[in-house]
Amino acid sequence: MHSDVVPARPPLGRRRSPLGTALRSRPRRLVAVFVLGLLLTTGCVALVAATVDLSPWLGSVSEADPTGSLSTLRLALEAGLLGGLAATALAVTARLVRDRRVRPARAVGPLAAAGCGFVSGVLVAVAVLPALLTLRTGATGVPLGSAVDPTGVAELVCFFPLGVGVGTALPGLLVAAVRAGAVPRYTSTRQRGFVALAVVTLAATHSPADLPTFALLAAPPLGGFGLGVAWLEFA
């Protein structure tokens, strides 16, 4: 009689969100996709950097010493990490689309807004980046573009626009994921902590060892994620 009155607890797989199910099913394949994306992106970036002299270009956007050594391998590995993450995200998205609980048609509008936000964020960041590199920071008042080495300037030029684009796209992506049923509307403190840790880690690995440049890379994604969570939970 007790089993008739109290419903049985659903299996663990049914209690998970579609995103959680996609991440936990076949993890080895996701790791393989990440490694493949990392290797391909690293190889392509290293090949381009080895055949193109980037020093004149860096000197045109900042006051960094053009004779300094540019670590192309470091930039290639950093770009490869982002390429691996992007490939993994595409693989997870493909699994989500095949999940019967997900309704992709409901996410068309927010996804379009996220795409426009990404493009707008990148364009705005590219436009304001030269001015940011001339800002004077620290007690010495040295311009930001001169306070870091050429590799650090290249990191800012390459990854700051991407960070701003991701930050402006995140609210739309979060709304799209919720409307499609891929993730629940409300997030836990643990989930928000994982996202913040991931953003801080990526910003630390893709920026020079300098607090202002670290903040430039970390602030846009964190702000976009916070705005999206606030909109979903309080709107």
Domain map (residue ranges) of the chain: 2-234
Long-range contacts, 58-62 (Cβ 8 Å, 24+): 58/150, 58/153, 58/154, 58/157, 61/129, 61/130, 61/133, 61/145, 61/153, 61/157, 62/130, 62/133, 62/143, 62/145, 62/146, 62/153, 62/157
Task: Please name the amino acid found at residue 231.
Answer: W
CA distance 68 to 64: 8
pLDDT above 70: residue 182: yes
Q: What pLDDT shows up at residue 4? A: 47
Both tokens assigned to 114: 């996220």
CA distance 48 to 198: 28
Residue 149 near residue 208, CB atoms below 8 Å: yes
Weakest-pLDDT range from 62-71, 113-122, 126-135, 213-222: 62-71
For the residues 111-127, what does the mean pLDDT come to?
94
Lowest mean pLDDT, pick from 1-10, 64-73, 131-140, 203-212: 1-10
Structure tokens at 107: 């996410």
Query: pTM of this prediction?
Result: 0.81
What confidence category does residue 119 fall into, taking pLDDT thresholds of 50, 70 and 90? very high
The H or E element that residue 137 is part of is strand 136-137
Q: pLDDT tens, 195-221?
A: 889 888 888 888 877 777 888 889 999
| pLDDT value of position 81 | 94
Q: Are 30 and 23 in contact (CB under 8 A)?
A: yes
Measure the CA–CA gap between 146 and 152, rounded to whole angstroms. Answer: 10
Whole-number average pLDDT of the chain: 81
In which band, very low, low, confident or very high, does the pLDDT at 156 lie, cut at 50, 70 and 90?
A: confident
β-sheet bridge partners, residue 143? 136
Task: Tell me: pLDDT of 15 over 70.
Answer: no
Position 187 scores a pLDDT of: 74
pLDDT of residue 28 exceeding 80: yes
Residues whose CB falls within 8 Å of the CB of residue 205, separated by 6 or more in sequence, listed in order:
78, 81
Nearest to 133, CA basis, from 224, 210, 219, 221: 210
Q: Which two tokens stand for residue 232?
A: 């979903």
Q: How confident is the model at residue 10 (pLDDT cuts 50, 70, 90)?
A: very low
Task: Indicate the SS3 state at residue 9.
Answer: coil
